[in-house]
Amino acid sequence: MFLFIGGSEIIIILFFIVIFFGANKIPSLARSAGKIIREIQDASDDVRKEIQKNSSDIKDDFDIKK
């Protein structure tokens, strides 16, 4: 999941997050980050579906068989 980041580095990052934002704001930050990630994944899925739909339409136009 975390590319090129070790366990100690994750702990240091979390420590700085607690210092900068405070322990009370971490749940709301995590919730906001989760919503943003979900929106990005949904947009990515929509683009992928649109590309697949259009590519199948083009294949049908040229009678290309799978």
- 57 lies in some domain: yes
Q: Is residue 4 part of a domain?
A: no
List the domain range (segments joined by +) for residue 24: 19-62
Query: Domain for residue 1, yes or no?
Result: no
pLDDT in tens, 4-60: 788 899 899 989 988 998 889 989 988 999 999 999 999 999 999 998 888 877 776
Q: Is the pLDDT of residue 61 over 90?
A: no
Token readout for 51 is 């590309």
Specify if 5 maps to a domain: no
Residue 2 lies in a domain: no
Burial of 17 (C-beta count, 10 Å sphere; 0-12/13-18/19+)? middle
Residue 23 lies in a domain: yes
Give the count of domains, the chain: 1
